[in-house]
Each structure stands twice: as C-alpha cells, then as structure tokens.
Amino acid sequence: MNQKRMNLIATTALTVAFSLFLSLVISTSFFPSMAEARTQRVIVFLKDQAAFTQVQNHFTKFGSQNLMTQNNLWGAAPHALSQVNGNIQTTLKSLNSVIVKIENPSEIQKLRLNPAVEFVDEEIFHPAPKPVHGFAVVNKLSRNATHITGETTGEFVPNASTPWGINAVRAVEAWPLSRQGAGARVLVLDTGIDKDHPSLKANLEKGKSFVDPYGLAYDYFDDVGHGSHVAGTIVGVADSSGFTGVAPKAKLLMGKVCTPEGCSNLSVARGIEWGIQEKVDLVSMSLGGAQATPTERRAVSKAAAAGITIVAASGNDGIPQVSYPAALPTVIAVGAVNADLLKADFSQWGPELAVVAPGVDVVSSVPQGSGRTPSFRSNLVLHLFRLFQAALLKEVRLFLNLSTKK
C-alpha cells in the first residue's frame, strides 16, 4: 500500500458524516429553481470536441452575449449553437459541455434537436444542508463584519476533548504511516467555508464558488455552517486543546455548490469539473437525493476516469436504499455508526454501501462570529449525518481490519 493511498485513507476514515443528517432529511425528489418563471438554465453536452471547441472559442471572444445576436457581430465564426436564443454562462472543458441561460422553454427542444448536441439537462436543486445545530445563520454577511478571532497553538495531545471518531478509527495510530494526510488534496463540495477559521486556514489551499453571488463576505463564504464543519472533520489543525481532523496535514479545496435554498446539479457538475482540472485526489459530497441527474452521472464518471476517488453520504432517512450520488457505481457510499459502533438510526443502507464510520455526536469547527467561542468546538451534540468518507474501498477495509489487531 503506497503512502499516498494511506494518506487518502487517513483523509477519509471519518468524514463529513455530518452533512446530510444536518439537512435532517434527504429529499426523495428534486425541486425546481425559484427563478424558473423568469429564466432557466440548462447544460448542453456536445457530441464531439470540434463542436465544443467552436462554442468555447465563440464564448471566449464574445462572452455571454446572446448566441443569436453574436451571428451579426464582425468576426463571428459559425458554431454549433448559433441558432439558440440564449446566453452562455460558462463552459466545462472536462465535460465537453456549456451552461446556457434561456428565457423561452421552446429553446430547450431546439437544443435537443440540434445534431451537434448529445443531450440537454435542465437545472434542478437538491435540498440544502441545514445549519449546524446551534449555528446562527449569517446570511449576506457584510464585508465589514467583525469576526471573532483566535489561534490554535501548542502540541496535539489526545484528551477528553478529542472527537470520539478520531479514537474510533485509530487515526493517531495511523499517522506514522499516513503522515497525517500530508500530500493528499481533498475537494469538498458543500456550503463553503470560513477561510479565516484558526482550525482551518492553514490547510485551506483554495476555495471557489459555483453559485450566483448573493452578498456574502466573499464568494465561497459558509453562511450555513455545514461546509466548515465538514472541513474541520477532515483537515482540522491538530492543537493542544485535543482537537484534530482525521488528516490534519492534508490540503483542502472547498467548492461552494450549495446556498441556503439548495444545491444545483449544474453547480455540483461545475465543482466536480474543477476537481478534475485541479487533479485532486478525492472529492467528498454530503448532498443528494433519491435520483441523480444525467449531468451529475456524467461528471462523476469523468472524475472516475481521471483517477479521482469520489465519496458521498449514503443518506439519512433510515431506509434500505442508498441515495445518489452515493449509489452510483464509481462512488464510495458511506454510512454512519454511533459511539457504540452500531448503525445510526438515520443512516441509509443497501447493496451499494461500501463502508461506515463515526457519524453521531461529532464535534468540529463552525464559522466564526456565529455565537460560539473562538474555537467553535464547545461540547455540542451535533447529530451528524455521516462519517468521514473512505477513499479506496479495499484499502479502507484493510485499514479497518488492521486497526482491530493489537
């Protein structure tokens, strides 16, 4: 087992457990965008690279002007979508696709009949992760807002304040082999992050938003509290208080794909595409529902083909059915256990379930200025949805088997 794989195991032994349970319920259906009465967004997958390159070059030159209007512009070359009454918002090179905003639903059928188009998928929204218990939502935080600050210092020594999951997966014992996750790069697709949190900022490599701006302090700011909590569970800095993440020396990339209103399938696809471009080792998602859209299926498939491990929450309805995207063939589905190492009541299961990990009463970081002490690791009883997801199933199972031996 090579060192990088061990790093990934450390980075995924305990996870995000958190996410969907905090949503309280993984929805059994999708709900449409509230803006559908005015505009609608679709993602258009083109059949070949030549057609995509034409459209991408056009977008690079003329931006988001109406595609039909562009036909009259000097220097405009013919392209596959020149008859579409809509505006390109962005292109996704790894997925050979473009996101288009349209105002007339009839344009969708026109796109589907276009011989250069493989398929068209409409935007839908998964339910948003709910705020961490006790977290005061700071929606539309002013850029001038004052954060509570603090620093984590001193050498890490496990104690009563150490999250119980760290001991359950014997993470500290694995650190000599995993180097505490050093060298591993993990992309979390969630509600964003508090980039200045003292338990997170040292390990945050970069963040990016895939949602429309809505007045936050910075575009990937976590106004829900969910993404920061997940981040602390994974890469929280080990300090003298006894707190640590599973892989405190791994690097984190945070993609904001969810707002308090929901998680767009187009945002999720853009986040995964970013992970492909960044060549991350792991993508972690604690979001989803009873179905996966064609867009999400394609994005997950492309990531797998690029050698990226994807882990996702199995669901929190307590039913014998794994939710999507966790149920997809190339995704590692993670369920939750409690401190007695018994299945959490809310954790979904099924034949797709690959591994379970600590997912109940887990303590982690939340955004500063949310009404807690600077560490934001007070003795909260956070009913987390699931665990720190696992990277490579065979190696995770081997790790768990070895950890039971003295």
Q: What is the pLDDT of residue 238?
A: 92
Is 204 within a domain? yes
CA 74/CA 303 separation, integer angstroms: 38
Type of residue at 145: A
Domain assignment present for residue 283? The answer is yes
11 and 99 assigned to the same domain: no
Q: Are residues 216 and 332 in the same domain?
A: yes
116 domain-assigned: yes
Distances (CA, A) of 213 to 37, 221, 231: 20, 11, 22
- CA dist 27 to 184, 262, 353, 387, Å? 32, 11, 19, 19
My answer on whether 270 and 371 are in the same domain is: yes
Looking up residue 377, the CATH number of its domain turns out to be: 3.40.50.200
Assess if residue 153 is contained within a domain: yes
Q: Hey, which residues does 324 pair with through a beta bridge?
A: 289
**Strand positions, DSSP E, 210-285:** 251-256, 258-259, 262-264, 282-285
Residue 115 sits in the same domain as residue 135 = no
DSSP state of 323: P
State residue 366's pLDDT score.
Answer: 74
List the structure tokens of 101: 């905003």
H-run or E-run covering 171: helix 171-178
So what's the pLDDT on residue 155?
83
Domain end residue (candidates: 71, 102, 123)? 123
Same domain for 306 and 273? yes
The pLDDT assigned to 327 comes to 94
pTM of structure: 0.80
Domain stops at, among 92, 123, 154: 123
326 shares its domain with 190? yes
Do residues 307 and 393 share a domain? Answer: yes
Structural domains of the chain, count? 2
Residue whose token pair is 């945050």: 204
Give ∠ CA 286-292-298 in degrees, rounded to 5. Answer: 100
Contact 385, 360 (CB under 8 A): no
Do 144 and 45 belong to one domain?
no
Q: What is the pLDDT of residues 90-127, one digit of tens each?
A: 999 999 999 999 989 899 999 999 999 999 999 999 88
Evaluate whether residue 247 is within a structural domain: yes
Tokens of 203: 């390990």
Domain span holding position 75: 40-123
Q: What is the CATH number of the domain that holds 56?
A: 3.30.70.80
What is the reported pLDDT for 183? 93
Q: Supply φ then ψ for residue 404, to 5 degrees.
A: -85, -5
Q: How far apart are CA 68 and CA 91, in angstroms?
A: 17
> Is residue 224 in a domain?
yes
The strands making up 125-126's β-sheet, listed across from edge to edge, are 125-126, 262-264, 258-259
Q: Are residues 66 and 194 located together in one domain of the fold?
A: no
Q: What is the 3-state secondary structure (H, E, C) of 90-110?
A: EEEHHHCEEEEEECCCHHHHH
Q: What local confidence, expressed as pLDDT, does residue 71 receive?
A: 58
Give the pLDDT confidence score for residue 146 in this predicted structure.
31
Catalytic positions, please? 190, 226, 378
- Give the per-residue pLDDT at 357: 83
State whether 246 and 356 are in the same domain: yes
Establish if 35 belongs to a structural domain: no
Q: Which residues of the chain have pLDDT under 50?
A: 5-37, 74, 134-151, 371-406
Residues 113 and 198 in one domain: no
Q: Are 344 and 165 in contact (CB under 8 A)?
A: no
Last residue of a domain, one of 123, 148, 171: 123
> Exposure string (b/e) for 180-210, b if CB count within 10 Å is 16 or more?
bbbbbbbbbbbbbbbbbbbbbeebbeebbbb
Residue 202 to residue 200: CA distance in whole angstroms: 6
Locus of tokens 């696709």:
97
In a shared domain, residues 220 and 363:
yes
Backbone angles phi, psi at 71, to 5 degrees: -65, -25
